[in-house]
Chains A and B, each alone.
Chain A
Amino acid sequence: GAVVSQHPSRVICKSGTSVKIECRSLDFQATTMFWYRQFPKKSLMLMATSNEGSKATYEQGVEKDKFLINHASLTLSTLTVTSAHPEDSSFYICSAPEPSDYNEQFFGPGTRLTVL
């Protein structure tokens, strides 16, 4: 089946720095990718929809200047957490829809961000 990868799997950074997380579709093209954030004991929260060749669409309450999304190619979307703070520490997951069955999503393994 289709595979989505994320890099890095874990990252620790100092407060005030920026962190870039990559999401790649390994064996299929994805014009759309989704970025989620998981809060402890809570659901995956959709942050934004990444669109290849155009601006990302952000969900209400998500700061677009803080969470920069760039869909550079049909196989790569990046999420940059700018000026990270400890409250940004979380598990970030991306997903891409199955090309032949658009209702199915393939999820990346996630990136654990810890901001000190």
Chain B
Amino acid sequence: DQQVKQNSPSLSVQEGRISILNCDYTNSMFDYFLWYKKYPAEGPTFLISISSIKDKNEDGRFTVFLNKSAKHLSLHIVPSQPGDSAVYFCAASESTGNQFYFGTGTSLTVIP
């Protein structure tokens, strides 16, 4: 049973525009969320996180929004750059443990 879902397997965006990647989860006990970025043949690298006490966290061009009532989070990238082209995974965990549950990933292509 997939507890974390990314329903869009791919997304294409023009350079300079906003990229919005979405993630939904089913477990209401999740209270810590992360986004990872993965290039081909490499391990995922941590991008940004948010805890359930917040509804927004911003780091440079990356902003993560959390809607707890909807069990939904999103990653906004503004402005999008060609180097942002990668697969993005969202992950969630309960604060009591370190196990993370990953979404299936969204492949972002930023078109120059």
Contact in complex: B98, A103 (CB < 8 Å): yes
Q: Shortest CB–CB separation between residue A11 and chain B, in angstroms?
A: 13
Chain A: interface secondary structure? strand
Chain B residues lying within 8 Å of A67, measured Cβ to Cβ, are none
Contact in complex: B34, A104 (CB < 8 Å): yes
Contact in complex: A43, B98 (CB < 8 Å): no
- Tell me which of A6, A36, A103 contacts B49 (CB under 8 A): A103
Contact in complex: A34, B42 (CB < 8 Å): no
Interface residues on B, range: 20 to 34
Contact in complex: B100, A107 (CB < 8 Å): no
Complex Cα spacing A58 to B8, Å: 29
Q: Residues of B at under 8 Å CB distance from A? A: 2, 4, 9, 32, 34, 36, 41-46, 49, 51, 89, 93, 95, 98-105
Chain A residues lying within 8 Å of B45, measured Cβ to Cβ, are 107
Chain B residues lying within 8 Å of A6, measured Cβ to Cβ, are 43
How many A-B pairs with Cβ below 8 Å?
A: 60
**A43 touching B102 in the complex, CB below 8 Å, given contacts A103-B32, A103-B49, A104-B49:** yes
- Tell me which of A42, A44, A104, A112 contacts B41 (CB under 8 A): A112
Q: Residues of A at under 8 Å CB distance from B? A: 6, 32, 34, 36, 41-46, 49, 91, 93, 95, 97, 102-110, 112
A-B contact pairs, 28 of them (CB 8 A): A6-B43, A32-B98, A34-B98, A34-B100, A41-B9, A42-B105, A43-B2, A43-B4, A43-B89, A43-B102, A43-B104, A46-B100, A93-B43, A97-B98, A102-B98, A103-B51, A103-B98, A104-B34, A104-B49, A105-B100, A106-B46, A107-B43, A107-B45, A107-B46, A109-B43, A110-B41, A110-B42, A112-B41
